[in-house]
Chain A
Amino acid sequence: MVEILRIENLKKHFQTAQGVVKAVDGVNISLNEGETLGLVGESGSGKSTVAYNVVGIYGATSGNIYFRGEDISMGTSRRPKSLKKDIQIVFQDPGTSLNPRQYIHEILAMPLRVHRIVPENEITDRVKELLELVQLPTSFIFKHPLELGEGEKQSVAVARALAVNPSMIVLDEPTSALDVSMQAKVINLMLELQKEYGFSYLFITHDLGVMRNVADRIAIMYLGKICEVAPAAEFFQTPLHPYTRMLISSVPVVSEEEERMRPAKVASRGEIPSPVNVPGGCGFHPRCCDATEECAGAIPEMVEVESDHFVYCHKFKQER
């Protein structure tokens, strides 16, 4: 498998009035060509900050991001144009990511013009093609975003990301603003497009059910750090990190099969602390039911429990 993206010890700190917020604090993950990597975590865990660093909305405080071997940890302003084109993003809320004053035509024509994808006289044809690609009627070109339903708007946002023929798409909670039946449509669309064009997805969501069905591998984040990385099936069958277990056992499910596979209920307790004042040692220890003194003192190191299954937890250190 060819690696398309590698993130090494990525840190992104923000200076605020309350102090330094370590939104992302030493993240290591990689993504292969044609693969979907899921990034899960509660709000405030830093998953969106990782995404924005990859796309280049932020420049990294320290650490490196390699895209096909090339360092892209600086913000977009210093990135070559071809690299900007290669990595696209779909945001969470299509209501705010699409300009309400533009026609769908203008929204989709803009990236085509900026990156000179097709000559000016072929733009309308290409826009129509893009709409067909995301299974929307071509008559939408002279509609405004407000005239469309939520799912349709998100499909337009997907079409805009596809317009420049990217190789990787960052999906920042693309379906959390949608109802289940709309969500099903958008997700199936994304999966079909991936099959056909071989995109790599960095898929961010807090919905574990969605994650199970889209991701090949899953990384879980807590307070700016990775807790566990595993292939999707394994992630749900044998979750190791106490946080992963707590998260999976908190998901309300709709069938008995799911109930059987879900780990025994770990009563969730506490809340994610303020990122200004992060607990020492393992960030999760105040909420963890297995926490020991060591957890409060030292930051756990990565342990490879099985091939491709990594966990950052002191509990698994001795077993090595």
Chain B
Amino acid sequence: MTDTGKLLDVRDLCVSYRTYEGKLKVVDGLTLEVRHGEKVGLVGETGCGKTTTMRAILGILPRPAGQVDSGEIIFKGNNVLQMKQKEIQRIRGVAITAIFQNPTAALNPVFTIGQQLYDVIRSQEWRKSGKRLSGKEVHDRAVKALKEAALHDPERLLSNYPVQLSGGMKQRVCIALAMVSDAELLIADEPGTALDVTIQDQILRLSMFMMSKRNTATLYIEHSLGVIREWMDRVYVMYAGRTVEVANSVDIFRSPRHPYTRGLLEAVPKLTGGGIARGIMGRVPEYIDPPGGCRFHPRCEYRMDICTKEKPPFFDLGDEHKVACYHSGS
């Protein structure tokens, strides 16, 4: 990685959903960056706003309920939030692609794998260079993409429907779909969660291999800390719509600083045994009326007065390790 420029820069992002109960501030002042060719993990529990962040970046928030209230999402120097639909379409699916959690939901059940792959290849080429590909060219590219995703017998696969494939194969097809465009940024939303460990391992190895080959950067959303540790360069830990800690993937597991990160790590059942820690007391707050100050303070054992009043800034611990906590930061 010689190029350390920022590819994606999310600054103070606030996203909310309007519901009958009121406005839910699901993402509240999130800041993160992904550099060229870097593998960045975003980790947090269910309901902490991981998927909302992904949707905001891709501009696919559910409308009209979801909206970006403030902040900037800068991709290669341009603010995605201020782009027109046309401009976004030139980026989304071409320069930024995505793999979703559930491959069964990501593929359309009434079209064959071939039809779906052809569509994506044609439309990407059209948006990228304005060129129309011949049927033969599209077919060749599709076969090549499936082969690269380690799928056997791609010719036959093209005429198969998604239901005819296993979960692991479907996810491979999704990877092939995401990779045909040679994107610069791949956003993955827990691609291994719905799969068994051996299949998850295969999927991870495949996607990481393909990404390093193309020097694709990735924002990898995961709830499994183990996956993050083994495959990512840098990690953002997210809690209740905010990033609470960021560090490289060695430091964060060796010396986690935020009380939430520590609680989360302790709660992971270890292969070495020795029992499981109690877990963090309480539960993730409701977004309708989130706690003031640090959103973690009601569950934190190191709570101080200031934590209930003011949102903690990021304290720099050196070596790119930053923590948003008054207790462990200062």
Contact = CB atoms under 8 A, between A and B. Distances in A.
A293 to B, nearest CB: 23
Interface of A: 42-43, 149-151, 179-185, 187-188, 191, 206-210, 212-213, 232-233, 236, 246-248, 250-255, 257-258, 261-262, 267-269, 271-272
A206 B200 CA distance: 12
B227 A183 contact: no
Interface residues of B, number: 41
Interface-centre pick from A191, A236, A254, A258 (highest chain B CB count, 10 A)? A254
B224 to A, nearest CB: 6
B1 interface: no
| Interface SS majority for chain A | helix
Contact of A254 (B202, B263, B265, B274): B265
A257 B274 CA distance: 12
Contacts of B277: 184
Nearest to A187: B276
A208 B197 contact: yes
A255 B270 contact: yes
Interface of B: 45-46, 166, 168-169, 196-202, 205, 223-227, 229-231, 253, 263-280, 283
Nearest to A182: B279
Nearest to A178: B46
B198 A246 contact: yes
B45 to A, nearest CB: 4
Given A184-B266, A184-B269, A251-B197, 18 more contacts: A179-B45, A180-B45, A180-B225, A181-B264, A212-B269, A212-B270, A212-B273, A250-B197, A250-B201, A252-B226, A252-B227, A252-B229, A252-B231, A253-B271, A254-B270, A255-B270, A268-B198, A271-B166
B46 A254 contact: no
A107 to B, nearest CB: 21
B272 A258 contact: yes
Contact of A181 (B166, B199, B267): B267
A182 B225 CA distance: 15
A210 B275 CA distance: 9
Contacts of A236: 271-273
7 nearest A-B residue pairs (beta carbon): A252-B226, A184-B279, A209-B269, A268-B198, A181-B279, A184-B267, A250-B201
A271 B199 CA distance: 7
A182 B270 CA distance: 16
Given A207-B269, A254-B229, A181 B45 contact: yes
Nearest to B223: A179
Contacts of A180: 45, 223, 225, 264, 267-268, 279
Contacts of B198: 42, 246-247, 250, 268
A213 B272 CA distance: 8
Contact of A210 (B45, B231, B269): B269
Contact of A258 (B169, B201, B270, B276): B270
A183 B266 CA distance: 12
B37 to A, nearest CB: 22
Contacts of B200: 250
A3 to B, nearest CB: 25
B276 A233 contact: no
A183 B263 CA distance: 13
A151 B281 CA distance: 12
A213 B276 contact: yes
Contacts of B274: 213
B270 A233 contact: no
9 contacts: A181-B280, A183-B269, A184-B269, A191-B275, A209-B268, A212-B270, A253-B226, A271-B166, A272-B196
A262 B264 CA distance: 22
Nearest to A211: B269
A179 to B, nearest CB: 4
A206 B197 contact: yes
Nearest to A181: B279
B196 to A, nearest CB: 4
A213 B275 contact: yes
A233 B200 CA distance: 25
B271 A188 contact: no
A7 to B, nearest CB: 24
A210 B166 CA distance: 26
A258 B168 CA distance: 26
A134 B225 CA distance: 28
B269 A251 contact: no
B276 A206 contact: no
Contact of A188 (B225, B270, B276, B280): B276
